[in-house]
């Protein structure tokens, strides 16, 4: 179930990215980051549930970096 949610979040972020490129309307750009963060949350939880603690910890670190970067981008 979590892998499916992960793939759905990635597909939604790709759709929003193409929409932004085609229309030139970049108001929806934060949605791409939101969907990517959701995707990473889903895959992190999946890794921990499967017992892959190494991958789960790496995913958690990546999630933290992306979260901090997105806060920096939104505040500037």
- Reported as a single tens digit per residue, the pLDDT across 33-43 is 888 888 888 88
pTM > 0.85: yes or no: no
For the chain, the structural domain boundaries read 2-75
As a whole number of angstroms, the distance between CA 22 and CA 14 comes to 12
Torsion of CA 55, 60, 65, 68, to 10 degrees: 170
Q: 49 vs 24, 53, 68, 74, CA distance in Å?
A: 40, 9, 25, 32
Q: What is the mean pLDDT of each run of 10 residues along the chain (76 residues)?
A: 88 91 85 86 88 85 84 79
């Amino acid at each position: 179930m979590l892998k499916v949610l992960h793939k759905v979040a990635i597909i939604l972020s790709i759709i929003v990215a193409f929409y932004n490129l085609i229309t030139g309307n970049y108001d929806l750009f934060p949605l791409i980051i939101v969907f990517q963060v959701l995707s990473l949350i889903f895959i992190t939880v999946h890794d921990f549930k499967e017992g892959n603690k190494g991958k789960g910890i790496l995913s958690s670190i990546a999630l933290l970096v992306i979260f901090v970067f997105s806060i920096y981008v939104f505040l500037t």
